[in-house]
């Protein structure tokens, strides 16, 4: 899939991109501007499902001692 400005706008929420989205975009599309770069369809689908997901599950918090 070719990354477009419209697609990037569709995967962010009112707070912008999640940390995970930025990490994956940098990994697959590089550090620079992402528009026009190509990423696998599976990665694009995953990034779409990550929109707005910022909650750390309680089981992870417990493992890290954050609870």
Domain residue ranges in the chain: 5-64
Local structure of 2: helix, strand or coil: strand
SS3 54: coil
- 7: Cα separation from own chain's centroid: 12
Average pLDDT over residues 48-59: 83
Is the separation of the CB atoms in 36 and 3 below 8 Å? yes
Find the mean pLDDT for residues 30-41. Answer: 94
- Which range, of 13-17, 48-52, 60-64, averages the lowest pLDDT? 60-64
- The confidence band for 62, taking pLDDT boundaries of 50, 70 and 90, is confident
């Amino acid at each position: 899939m070719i990354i477009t400005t419209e697609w990037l706008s569709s995967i962010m929420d009112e707070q912008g991109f999640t940390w995970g989205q930025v990490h994956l975009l940098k990994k697959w599309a590089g550090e620079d501007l992402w528009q026009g770069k190509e990423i696998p369809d599976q990665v694009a689908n995953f990034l779409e499902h990550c929109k707005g997901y910022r909650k750390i599950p309680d089981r992870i918090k417990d493992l890290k001692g954050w609870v």
